[in-house]
């Protein structure tokens, strides 16, 4: 470094040099200067920035902890949805996966890559012209939280790439390095704080912090592997992609395997299993991917997951514990789930004292009794489950598990419905608590701060008798509750107020209509744009919608015909909730990206066809039912039939769903 000089060029030089030092230290574990020297240059940079705040570059090392604490994270749409992966525990299913691909492609020379399946928190980063502009959590796959400030604190993550690539979106996992995890928990315990159950929770908990200063004290790390939207990138396969990431200074998985046969793939899975304990992050499987991107495009995706990849999960950890008793949990719809109360037992890094027994049929099938020693298993993110009895450990004093006859929460008589016992009381408080949590869920009305302990208190203290009461809560109601200071009270009231303007489909989903998921709620709103249309809907009209079947039509009709529900809806209307609008299509505005283009949609896609059609219309395009010379593109999903043949004959361009999304993004 040249002599200190109070000039802009010195400033630029310092930023660039310290970036290089960060990369060598954090990215390659090869420091190029001493800590003392680094600190000296860093201080020089800081003082230059103090004198010349107008010079501050967003990629300056000082900007890693630049931001102020946020009130809440902003929710932002992913330019390309973040999908998940199909899972398997069986090598046989891996072979079947390969056969399916060979069959679909009609040829057999393929190259694959095996990557570690990193057990972290999924995120998506956006670099524009080489500068990190945005980092989102996965959220529901469509929209995530903007955690850019927190991600910037990750020292191994470059704020600037080597080259000014026009657009590079890259996805991966944030993780809490295993080594640092134990000392974090020790510190937490010594400060009287709850330890984190595992590194993944520590990473998730850290990313959720609204104050980046706290995050900067956590040694989070990151590893990147998947592409999002791209411009100016010419990779043809995963190998080139990972090489590119590496060249640009981005951390990639420390070991990957390129394979060209099934045998090599299966061997690599075993090899990874042997090596993975040495990685800095937890892994729970191997991800098998087709290497060539063009082939990926041809294969496309099913609902939620690509057809060109599969996750092979290593057998999850199991442990043995003793079943002390069985409690009964009441769900939102009154469904009763038996829950095993266990002797606290260490399993996959955390202490487990409860596990699901699913239903009474399962209990009978597995022959589980109270007092039994049972095998428990935790697979990925699902709650632990009891998988069987250790018969050799039976003493003979075990007792049968009897289904309850009364609801454990409200004591009303239970009824069998298929495999499940159900509480049918309309005033059951346990159901109400679950209903409120559903209403406030991030995929529904997204009321931040309305979590379990608060719902518990609101219902127990009779402050809330159904979700409409949320809109009448006052500051006095809330400040007297446990763990509710003035700030959290005001935040909650603001979050409730904000929920009034949420998109109409979210309210519809939040109502908790039986069988109506978030995706179906979106579909319904495309056809019935307002609450009033739904209040007078008839069965036939519902069944006209391709994605709505008998069961959903019946439950939707039942819901809207029920007098109590109608009264609740009227109450919500008086509070001014968004009941949709005739001219609006779930809040989206029209654009002209696809003006002049005609699309035909065919085959099975990851989303209801109507949603894709709506997206096309909103972007100014037309959707037609049959392929002709005028068709600009055919969007073809799984099992596409004659329309695909027609398109091929007429030379109409065929797009996979992914390629279509890419087209939309590129035109954006
Ligand atoms: S590929 C469309 N590769 O596992 C591409 N995912 O259980 C989908 N994950 O959602 C992701 N390591 O968050 C991919 N090497 C890896 C991965 C990986 C971890 C996560 C990812 C995904 C989840 C699915």
For 374-402, the pLDDT digits (tens) are 999 875 445 788 989 999 999 999 999 99
> Is 136 domain-assigned?
yes
Ligand 1 contacts (CB < 6 A) are: 83-85, 115, 117-118, 122, 173, 225-226, 287, 306, 309, 311
* Residue 585 counted as domain residue: no
pLDDT at 66: 63
**Inside any domain, residue 191:** yes
Task: Estimate to the nearest angstrom the gap between the alpha carbon of 195 and the chain centroid.
Answer: 24
Q: Tell me the C-alpha to C-alpha distance, in Å, between residue 541 and each of 534, 536, 557.
A: 10, 10, 11
What is the spatial distance between Cα 516 and Cα 18, in angstroms, rounded to a whole number? 53
> How much distance in Å is there from the Cα of 86 to the middle of ligand 1?
10
Q: Which of 313, 334, 360 is the last residue of a domain?
A: 313
The segments of the chain whose pLDDT lies below 50 read: 2-3, 380-381, 585-589
Verify that 336 and 414 share a domain, yes or no.
Answer: yes
φ and ψ at residue 389, rounded to 5 degrees: -100, 140
Q: Which of 499, 523, 549 is the last residue of a domain?
A: 499
91 and 225, same domain (yes or no): yes
- Alpha-carbon distance of 374 to 323, in angstroms, equals 7
Q: Which of 641, 631, 634 is nearest to 655 (CA)?
A: 634
| Ligand 1 probe mutation, 207, 287, 661, 662, most atoms within 8 A of CB | 287
How many whole angstroms from 171 Cα to the centroid of ligand 1? 9
Res 587: pLDDT: 41
Nearest CA to ligand 1 atom 22: 84
484 and 517 fall within a common domain: no
Q: Whose CA is nearest to atom 2 of ligand 1?
A: 83
Distance CA 657, CA 652 (A): 16
In a shared domain, residues 153 and 278 = yes
Domain that holds residue 470: 429-499
Mutate which of 85, 171, 172 for ligand 1 pocket (most atoms within 8 A of beta carbon): 85
Measured CA to CA, the distance from residue 288 to residue 457 in angstroms comes to: 47
Is residue 63 in a domain?
no
> Phi-psi region for residue 537, left (φ > 0), alpha (ψ -120 to 50) or beta?
beta
Total domains in the fold of the chain: 6
Q: Is beta strand 414-417 parallel, antiparallel or unpaired with respect to 420-423?
A: antiparallel
449 found inside a domain? yes
Instruction: Give the number of other Cβ atoms within 10 Å of residue 5's Cβ.
Output: 11
pLDDT tens by residue, 234-291? 999 999 999 999 999 999 999 999 999 999 999 999 999 988 888 989 898 999 999 9
- Which residue is catalytic, options 91, 117, 263, 364? 117
| 163, 286: one domain | yes
643 is catalytic: no
For residue 118, tell me if it sits in a domain. yes
Residue 62 falls within a domain, yes or no?
Answer: no
Contact in structure between 540 and 615 (CB atoms under 8 Å): no
Ligand 1 atom having least distance to the Cα of 115: 15
The per-residue pLDDT for 667 is 67
Classify the C-alpha dihedral 68-71-76-81 as positive or negative: positive
Q: Are residues 398 and 442 in the same domain?
A: no
Do the beta carbons of residue 220 and residue 125 sit within 8 Å? no
Does 517 lie in the same domain as 487? no
Q: How far is the CA of 326 from the centre of ligand 1 (A)?
A: 36
Mutate to test the pocket of ligand 1, among 79, 89, 117, 304 (most ligand atoms within 8 A of CB): 117
Does residue 209 sit in the same domain as residue 163?
yes
- What distance in angstroms lies between residue 573's CA and the mean position of ligand 1's atoms? 42
């Amino acid at each position: 470094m040249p002599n200190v000089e109070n000039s802009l060029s010195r400033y630029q030089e310092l930023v660039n040099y310290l970036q290089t030092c960060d990369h060598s230290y954090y990215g390659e574990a090869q420091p190029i200067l001493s800590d003392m020297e680094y600190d000296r240059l860093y201080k020089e940079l800081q003082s230059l920035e103090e004198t010349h705040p107008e010079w501050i570059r967003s990629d300056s090392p000082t900007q890693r902890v630049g931001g102020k604490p946020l009130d809440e994270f902003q929710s932002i749409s992913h330019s390309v949805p973040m999908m998940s992966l199909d899972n398997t525990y069986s090598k046989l299913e891996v072979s079947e996966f390969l056969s399916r691909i060979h069959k679909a492609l009609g040829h057999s020379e393929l190259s694959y890559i095996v990557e570690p399946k990193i057990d972290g928190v999924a995120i998506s980063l956006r670099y524009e012209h080489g500068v990190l502009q945005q980092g989102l959590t996965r959220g529901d796959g469509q929209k995530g939280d903007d955690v850019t400030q927190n991600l910037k604190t990750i020292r191994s993550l470059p704020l600037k790439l080597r080259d000014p690539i026009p657009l590079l979106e890259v996805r991966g996992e944030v993780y809490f390095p295993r080594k640092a995890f134990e000392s974090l928990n020790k510190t937490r315990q010594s400060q009287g704080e709850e330890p984190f159950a595992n590194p993944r929770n520590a990473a998730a908990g850290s990313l959720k912090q609204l104050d980046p200063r706290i995050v900067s004290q956590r040694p989070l790390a990151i590893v990147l592997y998947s592409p999002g939207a791209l411009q100016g990138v010419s990779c043809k396969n995963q190998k080139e992609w990972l090489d590119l990431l590496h060249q640009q200074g981005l951390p990639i998985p420390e070991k990957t395997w390129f394979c060209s046969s099934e045998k090599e793939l299966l061997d690599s899975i075993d090899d990874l299993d042997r090596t993975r304990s040495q990685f800095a992050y937890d892994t729970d499987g191997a991800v098998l991917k087709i290497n060539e991107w063009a082939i990926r495009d041809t294969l496309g995706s099913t609902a939620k997951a690509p057809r060109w990849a599969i996750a092979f999960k290593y057998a999850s950890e199991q442990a043995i514990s003793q079943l002390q008793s069985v409690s009964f949990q009441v769900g939102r719809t009154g469904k009763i789930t038996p829950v095993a109360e266990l002797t606290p037992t260490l399993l996959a890094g955390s202490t487990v004292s409860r596990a699901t027994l699913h239903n009474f049929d399962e209990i009978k099938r597995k022959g589980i009794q109270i007092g039994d020693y049972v095998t428990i298993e935790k697979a990925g993110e699902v709650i632990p489950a009891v998988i069987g009895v250790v018969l050799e450990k039976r003493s003979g004093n075990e007792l049968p598990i009897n289904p309850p006859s009364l609801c454990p929460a409200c004591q009303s008589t239970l009824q069998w419905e298929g495999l499940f016992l159900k509480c049918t009381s309309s005033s059951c408080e346990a159901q109400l608590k679950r209903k409120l949590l559903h209403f406030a869920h991030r995929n529904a009305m997204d009321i931040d701060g309305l979590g379990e302990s608060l719902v518990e208190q609101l219902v127990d203290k009779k402050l809330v008798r159904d979700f409409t009461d949320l809109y009448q809560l006052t500051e006095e109601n809330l400040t007297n509750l446990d763990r509710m200071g003035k700030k959290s009270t005001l935040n909650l009231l603001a979050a409730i107020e904000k929920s009034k303007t949420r998109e109409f489909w979210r309210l519809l989903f939040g109502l908790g209509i039986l069988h109506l998921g978030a995706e179906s709620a979106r579909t319904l709103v495309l056809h019935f744009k307002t609450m009033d249309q739904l209040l007078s809907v008839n069965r036939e009209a519902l069944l006209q919608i391709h994605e709505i079947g008998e069961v959903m039509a019946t439950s939707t009709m039942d819901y809207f015909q029920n007098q109590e529900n109608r009264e609740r809806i009227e109450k919500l209307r008086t509070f001014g909730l968004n009941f949709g609008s005739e001219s609006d299509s779930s809040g989206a505005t029209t654009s002209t990206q696809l003006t002049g283009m005609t699309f035909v949609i065919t085959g099975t896609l990851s989303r209801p066809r109507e949603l894709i059609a709506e997206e096309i219309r909103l972007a100014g395009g037309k959707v037609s039912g049959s392929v002709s010379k005028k068709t600009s593109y055919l969007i073809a999903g799984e099992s596409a039939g004659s329309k695909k043949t027609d398109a091929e004959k007429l030379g109409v361009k065929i797009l996979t769903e992914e390629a279509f999304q890419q087209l939309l993004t590129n035109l954006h």
